[in-house]
Amino acid sequence: METQKQLLVFILCSYLCFFPSGLIDIKTKRSLQVQYYLVTNPYLILVLFLMAENYGVEGPTHNERHKLYGFRPTKLFVFGDSYSDTGNVRKAIANSWKVPYGITFPGKPAGRFSDGRVFTDYLARYLGLKSPTPYRWRRYAGKRLRYGMNFAYGGTGVFDTTAPEPNMTTQIDFFQQLIHDKVYTQEDLASSIALVTLAGNDYGAFKARNGSAGLINFIPLVVNQLVVDLKRIRGVGLKKIAVTALQPLGCLPQSTYMTSFQRCNGTENMLVGYHNLLLQNAVAKLNTEAKDTSFVILDLYDSFLSVLNDKGKILGSAKFENPLKPCCLGMSSDYRCGSIEENGSKKYTVCDDPGSAFFWDMVHPTQEGWRAVYIALQSTLEHLY
């Protein structure tokens, strides 16, 4: 029965998440697809009926029930990967510590996988906090410990990936140890927010080890483990937990370079839709179970596509003329952003203005790209208060 239910969900994703024409207005595309398939495909009617109850869970009643009026966060705790890492990953294994990373902010490589600020920095600013100290540098943090801590490590996932860094389970272990050591009290936690990012490294590692066969069966395992991690974070006493939906992997430059950065990979985005639908259902269930904790999904899928489709114009951010093309590129498939030869010669190119590009490298947004995503998420971020 569970397999049949997942298959029905996957059918829905196939119709609503597959974008064969690459970039296209999201609302228009979905509206046309729904109208067409409701007429031509009776299975979709069944799927919509089965899913309607779950979609209704996160309506106004749910938000009103869980909204903590007067809540003002004092700390931000971060778990995840390179979309939120601000300096944990080791210098020896990551290009984020090499030129030209960090050229916009802070002006030199500082461990962020971008030319400047990443999503963690923007969320901290929104909350009125300074960006939390990376766990790796906690002994040098001093008074900055009062803003929380960042446990995210680039390249990691909920399971072990190809990156030799702590997965999310271990990151939460680090957090619990600090609580045990009384670095943070229960009062601290009660006025804190957690950010959890998952950018798809588990899927990349799966394909590297097994190919694409069986990937769809792996997706529920990833989401289930993510839910376990979310419950653990809730269990330590945090009242507000924000978790990111998976961004459109098919629109990352590593997927669009085969079309000269002109078109998204619809098949990959279809699988992302399946992941996000399972996550939405799981978070809705968590919110019905939680008495005094609120989980909020930060929809990177729609926010990325909104910026890419509109090239940033409607949102008032930078205008990205070719939003799928990264600013920093390896000179061939053998190289990547930041690659250098033994003699010191650069094997990458950097665009003249990183602020005019949405993507920095083959996976990560620029600082301006993250700013545009942050603007697109404004209405959702309000639920953190």
Q: Is residue 82 annotated as a catalytic residue, yes or no?
A: yes
Neighbours of 46 (CB within 10 A): 13
The answer to whether 86 touches 121, Cβ cutoff 8 Å, is yes
Q: Is residue 114 annotated as a catalytic residue, yes or no?
A: no
Nearest to 359 by CA among 256, 267, 274, 245: 256
Q: How does strand 348-350 pair with strand 328-330?
A: antiparallel
* Separation CA 370–CA 355 (nearest Å): 11
3-state SS of the chain: helix, strand, coil percent to 5? 50, 10, 40
C-alpha torsion sign, points 66, 71, 75, 76: positive
* Separation CA 40–CA 59 (nearest Å): 29
Query: What contacts 176, CB < 8 A, 6 or more positions away?
Result: 236
* Separation CA 336–CA 281 (nearest Å): 37
* Separation CA 169–CA 160 (nearest Å): 10
Query: What contacts 287, CB < 8 A, 6 or more positions away?
Result: 57, 58, 62, 66, 294, 295
Helical H segments across the chain, by residue range: 2-16, 26-40, 42-56, 60-66, 119-126, 168-180, 186-190, 201-210, 215-235, 253-256, 266-289, 300-310, 367-376, 378-381
Q: Could you say which of 14, 66, 82, 303 is catalytic?
A: 82
* Separation CA 147–CA 131 (nearest Å): 7
* Separation CA 138–CA 178 (nearest Å): 10
- Residue 316: exposed, middle, or buried by beta-carbon count in 10 A (0-12, 13-18, 19+)? exposed
Distance of CA 328 to the CA centre of its chain: 21
Q: Is residue 364 annotated as a catalytic residue, yes or no?
A: yes
Say whether the peptide bond before residue 109 is cis (omega within 30 degrees of 0): no
The answer to whether 58 touches 80, Cβ cutoff 8 Å, is no
Cross-strand bridge partners of residue 192:
75
Active site residues: 82, 361, 364
